[in-house]
Amino acid sequence: MNALTYQHAHELAEFDLHLQEVPLPTLRDSDLLIRVQAFAVNPGDTVIRRFQSAAPGQAVILGWEFAGIVEQVGPHTTGFQPGDAVYGAGDLSRDGNYADYVAVDYRVVARKPANLSFPEAAALPMSFQTAWGALLRNDNQLPAGVGTVLVLGGAGGIGSIAIQLLKTHTNAMVIATASRPASKQWVAAMGADMVLDHSQDLAAQLAQHGIERVDMVLATRSSASHLAVIPQLLKAYGHLSLLDVHQSLDVSGLTHHSISVHLENVFTRVITNQHPEQQGLILRELTKLVEAGKVTSTLQKTLSGLTSENIRTAHEVLEKGEMIGKLVLDLGSAR
């Protein structure tokens, strides 16, 4: 099969992902072999490219959010058969889906919503699972007492789907941030009850709307830069969910307010093998919401074809930090 690979970690200026013929993935007993029809490119892919090199004699294949068609099923799989259209987020400890085929545990995928194309579906799984894990707790509900949620970075892939999840699954008031006219319009279209400008004083903007502090904050990106202002935005005993990774993250400034900090990683259930089937269950819920017209795809930009030029373009766009919604590579139209 063809895959976009690299050997050594590198910056964008030395971009070195190239198309290479590699063996088909080896299936484990609980795996599905999926022919990739479309895959999302995420900011995390660019981070891994910059810091992770391949082991000697091997190559890195990035990408862990896809939609495709089941080609083979392992002997211990249930509920799927060849020809099924599916979507999901894979396993960070295995080769990714910048490729013609990907192997994943059957428990972490679900059938693709019938009313979405493959590219539209590929934009959703990781974002939805991440938002679900970051926001919902026991019995898949917001923590007790949470009535207002502030989404910092509402126009990105996770922010866009978090707004929709909160509006369809909870009764919370959803406040989201954006700074450009296009991103503000997008966030409002996703369903935010209030849109704030994160380039301006957020506490002052809340006060203008008669809100002293919120019950929960979801920081989708640039968390370190927001920590100093969080006590001005979040009530004492409030909840802060962080998604991006830092070498060091000083949360000592939150101590006097007894703020609960949650670090969410969408791959934890799979990597630790602790109830990975929950990933598939969350996606089944997403499929229901999409097919009922309650959640829409966050796809905003599509590139056609598994080429090094397309993936470089995708990484360039994402590293600018201005992407609204999700960016997807469509492989189906190039076959």
For the chain, list the domains and their CATH numbers. 2-124+268-334 (3.90.180.10), 128-263 (3.40.50.720)
Residue reference for tokens 């799927």: 80
Say how far apart CA 82 and CA 73 lie, in whole Å.
7
**Whole-angstrom distance between the N-terminal and C-terminal Cα of the chain?**
13
Q: What is the pLDDT of residue 225?
A: 75
- Predicted TM-score of the model (pTM): 0.94
Say how far apart CA 87 and CA 159 lie, in whole Å.
20
Q: What is the pLDDT of residue 228?
A: 84
Q: What is the pLDDT of residue 139?
A: 83
Say how far apart CA 291 and CA 287 lie, in whole Å.
6
Tens-level pLDDT at each residue, the chain (335 residues): 999 999 999 999 999 999 999 999 999 999 999 999 999 999 999 999 999 999 999 999 999 999 999 999 999 999 999 999 999 999 999 999 999 999 999 999 999 999 999 999 999 999 999 999 999 988 899 999 999 999 999 999 999 999 999 999 999 999 999 999 999 999 999 999 999 998 899 999 999 999 999 999 999 977 777 788 899 999 999 999 998 866 667 787 888 889 999 999 999 999 999 999 999 999 999 999 999 999 999 999 999 999 999 999 999 999 998 899 999 999 985 44
Residue 208, C-beta contacts closer than 8 angstroms, at least 6 positions apart: none
- Pairing relation of β-strands 18-21 and 2-5? antiparallel
Q: What is the pLDDT of residue 78?
A: 97
